[in-house]
Amino acid sequence: MTGELSPIDKAKFVAAKRATQYVETGMRVGLGTGSTAAWLVRCLGEMVRDEGLRIKGVPTSSRTAALARDVGIEVISLDEAKWLDVTIDGADEYDSNLNLIKGGGGALLQEKIVATASDQMVVIADISKQVETLGAFPLPIEVIPFGWQTTKALVEETLISMDVLGRTTTLRMNGEVPFVTDEGNHIIDLHLNRIGHARQLSLVLNQIPGVVENGLFIDICDVVVIGYGDGKVEVRDVNKGSVEEEKFDFLEDENLFGDISD
């Protein structure tokens, strides 16, 4: 069904397909959360089923864990794995230095823990996620429920001295109730528009009592695999300083991915 996909879904698919080249039998693999990461899990599941790939997956959310089991990937915890060979995940934004904003799906805490416990982090994304400066996408921070309004006020006060364009903060909701993460926490989204010094902001936010973690991933990503709607893939490796391009052809009889949605 890839022939029936929208250009944006084709871009996600080819990025995920190319990223499977970083996975080999015997590896312990961090599995990201979100619509693009779901394509990767499906691709890896196909390789497990059809090519005899044997891996152990460490998911970054309960949603990803359920999908991985559904497609036949052995799922283990990070405590069982201890360390990972590679983590492959999506991103809400990435800049030219491969710094990221993540957490649009609400799994930023597990995503950051898993990514930093890996030899390599590979991000899969479509070209729309590329930005000159981080901040157009709201920056999520995970906060404990106790005193969250006080934490929110402290964050707003802190933002006054930061190099950002906006300082609006909102509690993420799930319908009429606050969104709850897998760890039982809340998420506050920071609408900053532009982040001048992402590293400094990340450090300062994590010093605020009640803040568990923020969605800035600084110096964590090693490679970004960028998909395009025409099947082109661009691979940027920050360590090698290289950029490679290749093209994928779509098979009209492909039906493995037809049931994935955002």
Residue 153 annotated in ligand binding: no
35 is in an annotated binding site: yes
Residue 108 CA to residue 216 CA, distance in Å, equals 9
State the Cα torsion 7-13-15-18 to the nearest 10°. Answer: -140
210 annotated among ligand-binding-site residues = no
- How far apart (Å, rounded) are the C-alpha atoms in residues 170 and 192? 11
Q: Does the active-site annotation cover 183? A: no
Q: Confirm whether residue 103 is marked as ligand binding.
A: yes
Q: Is 10 annotated as a binding-site member?
A: no
Is 77 marked within a binding site?
no
105 is in an annotated binding site: yes
Q: Tell how strand 242-247 and strand 232-237 pair up.
A: antiparallel
Buried (b) or exposed (e) across 164-181, using 16+ Cβ within 10 A?
beebebeebeeeeeeeeb
> Catalytic pick from 111, 156, 176, 244?
111
17 is in an annotated binding site: no
User: Is there a binding annotation on residue 90?
Assistant: yes
The answer to the question of whether 91 is labelled as a binding residue is yes
Contact in structure between 222 and 120 (CB atoms under 8 Å): yes
Residue 245: Cβ within 10 Å count: 10
CA 85, CA 33: separation in Å to the nearest integer? 18
Q: Which residues are annotated as a binding site?
A: 33-36, 89-92, 102-105, 129
Q: Which residues are annotated as a binding site for substrate?
A: 33-36, 89-92, 102-105, 129
The catalytic residues are 111
